[in-house]
A and B are shown apart, each in its own frame.
Chain A
Amino acid sequence: MSSGAAALEALRAVARDPRSHIEAWRSIHPDRKVLGVLPMNFPRELAHAAGVMAVIVPDDQEPVTEGRAFLPEFYCGYTRNLADQAATGRFDQYDALFVADHCIQLLGSADVVRALEPTRPVFLGQLISSMSDPWAGRKTTEMMVTLRTEVETFAGAAIDDDVLAASIRSFNRDRDLMRQIFDARTAGDTAFSPVELQDIVASAQIMDPDEHHDLLAQVVADRAPRTRDGRIRVHLSGHLCHAPRRELLEVIEEVGAVIVDDDLWTGRRYLQTGMDESLAPMDALAQWYGGRNTALPCPTRVQHDVDWDAWLLDAVRRSGAEAVVHLMPKFCEPHMLYYPELRSALDEAGVPQLLIETEHEGIPLESFRTRLEALIERTHRNRPAYA
């Protein structure tokens, strides 16, 4: 196995079995703490600078069993899975849980963790979500300071500004490298399959950024660019907060599509925005948060002059995508609310699209396959006859 292949295997292992990675880290760093954070905006740089391992708690794809007793079945799969992790002791890996977002379902699941794990601190540092308000910048800065203080208290160590700046550089470097791969895909390079890309991003959400970067650099060095073939070019949109099932990504490509870009949480949404290293670190954090919604609009935020639909159309133009597949986790209310905006923008632009509602408990893959085939066929008809 080449070193690049081995490095990719290592990333894949972390993405698919984060628990083992966290346990291994703990055994090497017995005196340090592991912080679970919930998507999508908590700045892990703060925790990193305090010597804490900050893991974005992933959906672990286990079926929900005991968790059923704590959240209703009409909560999104991610949040029900979190409740289940807490109910079955799978949350023991984390010393605390920090939340910076306001999705009511996310808060519901955090409250279950708090009730079932009373010794684990569960801190909500709610970042303002109304981004157009004149006071949004000030409130963001204030909250970043609060988060810093809370992380320091949790870690039992003060955060040094220079160390924080170094953490920012580390995360930036890792995000930059991932963004290069995503941008190359947008430009026509299919060197990485969608499942590989998902594993790369999902592992980044768990690992130390330097460790992740080093492995990823080996993977990239080992992989030659590959030109896109004539398959139908598809953009994947949605799936906030957790990863879609890998089988689903595979089936999309099996039916004759090639995924050219996305705005998924375990994709471009995670890595799109970097922090400005020329700013004082706390300012960089605040500006990063404000900039994230502009760089890739999020339906959990409200910002009058920023449109997910317009972003999507631009992305489609940039990548030459011919169709869009919306991956909507069932019961994800922010996505349900914005979906008609996306739908009508794409309709007006004549871009074929398909909505797939995913569920935590398995997916009807064959029925998705049929619907995807129909989309691909329909999209083929859009192509000029000579193509």
Chain B
Amino acid sequence: MTATLNTPVTPVTDRTNRLTSTKKGGQMVADYWEDLFTARERGKQIVWYNGGALNPIFQAAGVAWCHGEAFAARLAAQGLEGPAQLAGAEHGYNAELCSYSRTHLGCAVLTVQGDEGINTGVVGAHDQAELASRLPAPDFFVNNYAGCSTGQQWDEISYRVFDKEVPIFNISHPFLWGNKPDSGYLKGEEWESASHYVRDQLLDLITWLEEKTGNPFDWDMLRESMTYIKKAAELRREGLELCKAKPAPATFWDWISAIAPINFLPGNQELVDYFQSVRDEIQDRVDKGISGVENEKYRVYFDGIMNWNKLGFLSRKFAEHGVAVLAGRYITNAFWQEPQLIDTEDPLLGMAQHYLLCPTNHGTKTLDYLTLRDCEEYDVDGIVFHSTRTCRAFTGPQRLLARSAQNNLGIPSIFFEGDVADASFYKEEILESRLAAMLEGIDVKRTQAS
């Protein structure tokens, strides 16, 4: 459960060449959390939300926002998830339950339990040192989870942990299953009708927020923030495209570092400047032939939600083997990944579409198309599947995707175990031995081909 219970970790030489520009994003994110922790003191109302990036709507509604998964991920990345998970376990949440939800629900339990919490509206005041947080209690919940049923139930439980006293709004997302012959990625009747259904619910959410906050919704602010977000997303896409170069100028791990900014920071010029600098640094590396890992020998696709406890470690581990991890479902096919869908004058439809495009909201048919497309475009030698123990949404299709990659592209793959926010599920020996075996296999194939 805690970061201290890890399996032994092999010392790894650092052969990464991480982007320097992403550091700035780290600072922006740290500032954002600091800002959130003091939001109540500044008279702000606070929303806890899950799933797709609703932050532009909250920004325009004048409330401060806390993304549940992001907060759980942050605790895990800092090795601080222990107290919240312990509180969750004592409350009765099983260790096999999605560790994002378990961590976040643990925070909710701490908030409700802590005497000081009740008085100050601050999560687990007793545990602040460990949590390194002063997460304010919510004034509202908004659920925006697509694909994974757990996401919707998790918020309903948060609502119950707070004794049903915090209002909740739920957005329903049709799963993009691909029933009809005309259905496919970004097309077909199913896609069109789901897009409009979710857009209509966003309008209802806006009315609901106006009622709850007593503030008129600032449509100009929404347009403005979506203009910045669209620009940032375009720059992010350009950067991702540039990573198809050989050697790859930046890796999956750099993009992982850039997730928080695109996922929940306010839409503003600073965000655009940040992605501009990331993109420019990558372009500069392409121009100079600088690679993201020392001596790139292998190119690999990574499938699975992130193992936040192991971020730095995993990036070093792959680099040590000369593996450039280039693309992955979690970065390439998530987080405002289709900015052309956003009409900045009337952004709700494009926003709804992005929520529906959550990579857990597609049937395997579409995921297969996206995975094969990306594997070909990034010219990868293999796929690494992070068998993310408590995230059934991500892991469900993985075996089928592995089979398809082998059958259609002749690309081998390996699975290793881990989890989003529970370090105890990570098995170092399994990753090491399977990775070594896959790389050997790739070597043999290359020798035969030559």
Q: Which residues of A pack against B, CB within 8 Å?
A: 69-72, 74-75, 102-105, 107-108, 111-112, 114-115, 123-126, 128-130, 132-135, 139, 150, 299-300, 302, 304, 307, 328, 330-331, 333-334, 336-341, 343-344
- B156 contacts chain A at the CB level, 8 A cutoff: yes
Contact string against A for B residues 92-121, beta-carbon threshold 8 Å, 1 for contact and 0 otherwise: 111011100100000000000000000000
| Sampled A-B contacts (24; CB under 8 Å) | A69-B399, A69-B403, A74-B96, A75-B392, A102-B149, A104-B148, A104-B393, A108-B397, A111-B397, A115-B400, A125-B179, A126-B177, A130-B172, A133-B170, A300-B149, A300-B153, A302-B153, A304-B156, A304-B159, A330-B96, A331-B392, A334-B150, A338-B157, A341-B160
Within 8 Å CB of B322, what residues of A? Answer: none
Q: How far is the CA of A44 from the CA of B400 in the complex (A)?
A: 30
Are B170 and A126 closer than 8 Å at their CB atoms?
Answer: no
Known contacts A72-B395, A331-B96: A126-B174 contact under CB 8 Å: yes
- B45 contacts chain A at the CB level, 8 A cutoff: no
Within 8 Å CB of B98, what residues of A? Answer: 333
Residue ID in chain A nearest B368 by CB atoms:
A115
B240 to chain A, nearest CB (A): 27
Are B396 and A111 closer than 8 Å at their CB atoms?
Answer: yes
Within 8 Å CB of B389, what residues of A? Answer: 74
Are B392 and A129 closer than 8 Å at their CB atoms?
Answer: no
Q: Known A-B contacts: A103-B149, A126-B174, A338-B157. Give 13 more (CB < 8 A).
A: A70-B399, A72-B398, A108-B397, A111-B396, A114-B364, A114-B365, A126-B177, A130-B172, A304-B156, A334-B153, A337-B93, A337-B101, A340-B93
Are A304 and B164 closer than 8 Å at their CB atoms?
Answer: yes
The 10 A-B pairs at the shortest CB distance, nearest first, are namely A108-B396, A340-B92, A302-B156, A124-B177, A336-B94, A130-B170, A336-B97, A111-B364, A104-B149, A102-B149
Q: How far is the CA of A386 from the CA of B152 in the complex (A)?
A: 48
Known contacts A112-B400, A299-B153, A302-B156: A74-B93 contact under CB 8 Å: no
Are B164 and A333 closer than 8 Å at their CB atoms?
Answer: no
A297 to chain B, nearest CB (A): 11
B368 to chain A, nearest CB (A): 9
Contact of B399 among A71, A135, A307 (CB under 8 A): A71
A147 to chain B, nearest CB (A): 11
A328 to chain B, nearest CB (A): 8
Q: How far is the CA of A302 from the CA of B101 in the complex (A)?
A: 16
Are B392 and A74 closer than 8 Å at their CB atoms?
Answer: yes
Known contacts A108-B396, A300-B153: A337-B179 contact under CB 8 Å: no
Within 8 Å CB of A115, what residues of B? Answer: 364, 400
A91 to chain B, nearest CB (A): 15
Contact of A302 among B93, B170, B403 (CB under 8 A): B170
B347 to chain A, nearest CB (A): 22
Are B172 and A333 closer than 8 Å at their CB atoms?
Answer: no
Contact string against A for B residues 157-168, beta-carbon threshold 8 Å, 1 for contact and 0 otherwise: 101100010001
- B267 contacts chain A at the CB level, 8 A cutoff: no
Are A333 and B392 closer than 8 Å at their CB atoms?
Answer: yes
- Determine which residue in A75, A128, A132, A337 has the highest number of CB atoms from chain B within 10 A of its CB, and name it: A337
Residue ID in chain A nearest B171 by CB atoms:
A130
Q: How far is the CA of A135 from the CA of B92 in the complex (A)?
A: 33
- B24 contacts chain A at the CB level, 8 A cutoff: no
Question: Chain B interface residue count: which class?
Answer: 35 or more
Q: How far is the CA of A129 from the CA of B174 in the complex (A)?
A: 10
A146 to chain B, nearest CB (A): 9
- B228 contacts chain A at the CB level, 8 A cutoff: no
B295 to chain A, nearest CB (A): 34
Within 8 Å CB of A139, what residues of B? Answer: 172
A387 to chain B, nearest CB (A): 30
Are B153 and A333 closer than 8 Å at their CB atoms?
Answer: yes
Are A114 and B363 closer than 8 Å at their CB atoms?
Answer: yes
B174 to chain A, nearest CB (A): 6
- B25 contacts chain A at the CB level, 8 A cutoff: no
Q: How far is the CA of A371 from the CA of B363 in the complex (A)?
A: 41
Residue ID in chain A nearest B390 by CB atoms:
A74
Within 8 Å CB of B97, what residues of A? Answer: 333, 336-337
- Determine which residue in B153, B157, B170 has the highest number of CB atoms from chain A within 10 A of its CB, and name it: B153
Residue ID in chain A nearest B400 by CB atoms:
A115
Within 8 Å CB of A129, what residues of B? Answer: 149, 152, 172
Residue ID in chain A nearest B177 by CB atoms:
A124
Are A104 and B174 closer than 8 Å at their CB atoms?
Answer: no
Within 8 Å CB of A130, what residues of B? Answer: 152, 170, 172
Residue ID in chain A nearest B147 by CB atoms:
A104
Within 8 Å CB of B159, what residues of A? Answer: 304
Residue ID in chain B nearest A99 by CB atoms:
B177
Are B172 and A304 closer than 8 Å at their CB atoms?
Answer: no
Q: How far is the CA of A75 from the CA of B395 in the complex (A)?
A: 9
Q: How far is the CA of A341 from the CA of B105 in the complex (A)?
A: 12
Which residues in chain B, 346-376, are within 8 Å of chain A measured between CB atoms?
A: 360, 363-365
Within 8 Å CB of A300, what residues of B? Answer: 149, 153
Within 8 Å CB of B392, what residues of A? Answer: 72, 74-75, 104-105, 108, 331, 333
B413 to chain A, nearest CB (A): 13
Q: How far is the CA of A338 from the CA of B159 in the complex (A)?
A: 12
Contact of B396 among A104, A299, A343 (CB under 8 A): A104
Within 8 Å CB of A307, what residues of B? Answer: 160
Q: How far is the CA of A258 from the CA of B231 in the complex (A)?
A: 66
- B378 contacts chain A at the CB level, 8 A cutoff: no
Are A337 and B96 closer than 8 Å at their CB atoms?
Answer: no
Within 8 Å CB of A108, what residues of B? Answer: 392, 396-397
Q: How far is the CA of A316 from the CA of B302 in the complex (A)?
A: 49
Are B175 and A107 closer than 8 Å at their CB atoms?
Answer: yes
Contact string against A for B residues 312-337, beta-carbon threshold 8 Å, 1 for contact and 0 otherwise: 00000000000000000000000000
Contact of B157 among A105, A123, A328, A337 (CB under 8 A): A337
Q: How far is the CA of A304 from the CA of B360 in the complex (A)?
A: 25
Q: How far is the CA of A290 from the CA of B390 in the complex (A)?
A: 30
Within 8 Å CB of B149, what residues of A? Answer: 102-104, 129, 300, 333-334
Residue ID in chain A nearest B362 by CB atoms:
A111
Are B387 and A72 closer than 8 Å at their CB atoms?
Answer: yes
Residue ID in chain A nearest B175 by CB atoms:
A126
Q: How far is the CA of A330 from the CA of B392 in the complex (A)?
A: 13
Within 8 Å CB of B93, what residues of A? Answer: 336-337, 339-340
Within 8 Å CB of A330, what residues of B? Answer: 96
Contact string against A for B residues 243-272, beta-carbon threshold 8 Å, 1 for contact and 0 otherwise: 000000000000000000000000000000
A117 to chain B, nearest CB (A): 13
Q: How far is the CA of A74 from the CA of B172 in the complex (A)?
A: 26
Within 8 Å CB of A328, what residues of B? Answer: 94
B122 to chain A, nearest CB (A): 23
Are A111 and B153 closer than 8 Å at their CB atoms?
Answer: no
Are B92 and A339 closer than 8 Å at their CB atoms?
Answer: yes
- B275 contacts chain A at the CB level, 8 A cutoff: no
- B91 contacts chain A at the CB level, 8 A cutoff: yes
B405 to chain A, nearest CB (A): 13
Are A71 and B363 closer than 8 Å at their CB atoms?
Answer: no
Are B157 and A133 closer than 8 Å at their CB atoms?
Answer: no
- B154 contacts chain A at the CB level, 8 A cutoff: yes
Residue ID in chain B nearest A74 by CB atoms:
B389
Within 8 Å CB of A299, what residues of B? Answer: 153
Contact of A111 among B155, B170, B400 (CB under 8 A): B400
A104 to chain B, nearest CB (A): 5
Are B396 and A107 closer than 8 Å at their CB atoms?
Answer: yes
